[in-house]
Amino acid sequence: MKQKYLAMVAFFVTAIAFSQGTITGSVIDGDLDEPLPGATVMVIGTTNGVTTNFDGDFNIEVEEASGTLRFSYIGFKTKDVEFTFSGNTAVNLGKIIMEADASALDEVVVSSFSLAIDRKTPVAVSTIKAAIIENKLGSQEFPEILKSTPGVYVTRGGGGFGDAELRLRGFNSENVAVAINGIPVNDMENGRVFWSNWAGLSDVTRTIQVQRGLGASKLAVPSIGGTMNIVTKSTDVEKGGNVIMTTGNNGYTKYGFTLSTGLMENDWAATVSLSRTTGQQFVDATTIDAYSYFVNISKQLNDNHQLVFTGFGAPQRHGQRQNRLLIDDFRRSERGIRTNIDYGYRNGQLVNIEDNFYHKPQLALNHYWTISEKSKLATSAYVSFGTGGGGGVRGVNKFGKSNLNYRDTEFAPVNLDVIAEENIALGALGSETILRASRNNHKWLGVLSTYTTKLSENIDLIGGIDLRTYKGSHFTDLTDLLGGQFFVDNSNVNNPNNIAKVGDKIAYDDDGFTRWTGAFLQAEYSKNNLSAFLSLAGSNTSYKRIDYFNYLDSDPLRETDWINFFGYSGKGGANYNLDEHNKIFANVGYFERAPFNNAVFLNFRNDINEEAENQKIFSVEFGYGYRNDKLKLDLNLYRTQWNDRTLTRRFQNPDNTQFIANILGVNALHQGIELEGQYNASDRLTITGMVSIGDWQWANDVTDVQIFNEEQQLVGEVDLFIDGLKVGNSAQTTFAIGANYEILPTTDLRVDFNFAGDYYADYDPTSRGTDTDIQAWKQPDYGLVDLGLTHRFDFAGLNATLRANVNNVFNTEYISDARDGNGSVAETALVYFGPGRTYTIGAKINF
Q: What is the pLDDT of residues 542-555, one digit of tens each?
A: 999 999 999 999 99
What's the pLDDT score for residue 75?
57
710 versus 144: the higher-pLDDT residue is 144
List, in order, residues 6 or more apart from 271 with CB less than 8 Å away. 233, 234, 235, 236, 258, 259, 260, 261, 294, 295, 296
- Going from the C-alpha of 632 to that of each of 35, 92, 118, 234, 629, the distances in angstroms are 12, 22, 11, 29, 8
pLDDT in tens, 364-381: 999 989 999 899 999 999
Please, what sign has the CA dihedral across residues 193, 194, 195, 198? negative
What's the pLDDT score for residue 52?
79
Considering the domain architecture, whether residues 725 and 642 belong to the same structural domain is answered as yes
Least confident of 107-116, 281-290, 599-608, 717-726: 107-116
What's the mean pLDDT when you consider all of the chain? 88
What's the pLDDT score for residue 105?
30
What's the pLDDT score for residue 769?
82
pLDDT over threshold 80, residue 76:
no
Identify the domain boundary among 175, 207, 232.
Answer: 232
Question: Is residue 110 helix, strand or coil?
Answer: helix
**What does the DSSP 8-state code read for residue 563?**
E
What's the CATH number where 198 sits? Answer: 2.170.130.10
What's the CATH number where 6 sits? Answer: 2.60.40.10
- Going from the C-alpha of 709 to that of each of 54, 131, 614, 760, 764, the distances in angstroms are 59, 56, 21, 33, 21
Closest alpha carbon to 88 in 170, 173, 191, 14: 14
Task: State pTM to two decimals.
Answer: 0.85
pLDDT in tens, 169-178: 999 888 898 8
Residue 28, number of CB atoms within 10 A of its CB? 19
183-207: average pLDDT = 84
Considering the domain architecture, whether residues 227 and 268 belong to the same structural domain is answered as no
595-609: average pLDDT = 88
Considering the domain architecture, whether residues 293 and 154 belong to the same structural domain is answered as no
Least confident of 182-191, 463-472, 488-497, 798-807: 182-191
535 versus 130: the higher-pLDDT residue is 535
pLDDT in tens, 21-67: 889 999 988 766 677 766 788 888 776 777 776 567 888 888 888 88
pLDDT in tens, 389-417: 999 999 999 988 878 899 999 999 999 99
pLDDT over threshold 60, residue 540:
yes
Considering the domain architecture, whether residues 10 and 154 belong to the same structural domain is answered as no
pLDDT in tens, 641-694: 999 887 777 777 667 777 777 787 889 999 999 999 999 999 899 999 999 999
> In which band, very low, low, confident or very high, does the pLDDT at 218 lie, cut at 50, 70 and 90?
low
> In which band, very low, low, confident or very high, does the pLDDT at 6 lie, cut at 50, 70 and 90?
very low
Considering the domain architecture, whether residues 152 and 48 belong to the same structural domain is answered as no
pLDDT in tens, 684-702: 999 999 999 999 999 999 8
> In which band, very low, low, confident or very high, does the pLDDT at 13 lie, cut at 50, 70 and 90?
very low
pLDDT over threshold 50, residue 529:
yes
- Going from the C-alpha of 423 to that of each of 22, 49, 417, the distances in angstroms are 76, 66, 10
Least confident of 117-126, 526-535, 674-683, 818-827: 117-126
236-264: average pLDDT = 88
What's the pLDDT score for residue 108?
30
pLDDT over threshold 70, residue 103:
no
Considering the domain architecture, whether residues 51 and 136 belong to the same structural domain is answered as no
CA dist., res. 328 & res. 829, Å (int): 10
Considering the domain architecture, whether residues 309 and 171 belong to the same structural domain is answered as no
- Going from the C-alpha of 179 to that of each of 110, 230, 231, the distances in angstroms are 12, 6, 9
Identify the domain boundary among 71, 98, 125.
Answer: 98
> In which band, very low, low, confident or very high, does the pLDDT at 10 lie, cut at 50, 70 and 90?
very low
What's the pLDDT score for residue 32?
63
Identify the domain boundary among 192, 216, 232.
Answer: 232
Considering the domain architecture, whether residues 407 and 277 belong to the same structural domain is answered as yes
Query: 538 near 568, Cβ under 8 Å?
Result: yes
What's the pLDDT score for residue 842?
96
CA dist., res. 710 & res. 609, Å (int): 8
> In which band, very low, low, confident or very high, does the pLDDT at 510 lie, cut at 50, 70 and 90?
very high
- Domain tally for the chain? 3
What's the pLDDT score for residue 57?
82
Considering the domain architecture, whether residues 719 and 598 belong to the same structural domain is answered as yes
What's the CATH number where 576 sits? Answer: 2.40.170.20
Backbone φ, ψ for residue 231 (5° rounding): -110, 115
CA dist., res. 751 & res. 837, Å (int): 15
The percentage of the chain sitting over the pLDDT mark of 90, rounded to a whole number, equals: 61
Question: Is residue 775 helix, strand or coil?
Answer: coil
Radius of gyration from C-alpha coordinates of the chain:
29
303 versus 459: the higher-pLDDT residue is 459
Residue 830, number of CB atoms within 10 A of its CB? 17
| 664: Cα separation from own chain's centroid | 30
**Residue 19: which domain range?**
2-98
Considering the domain architecture, whether residues 250 and 222 belong to the same structural domain is answered as no
What's the pLDDT score for residue 1?
46
Considering the domain architecture, whether residues 527 and 571 belong to the same structural domain is answered as yes
Considering the domain architecture, whether residues 388 and 531 belong to the same structural domain is answered as yes
Question: Is residue 696 helix, strand or coil?
Answer: strand
Strand (E) or helix (H) holding 751: strand 747-759
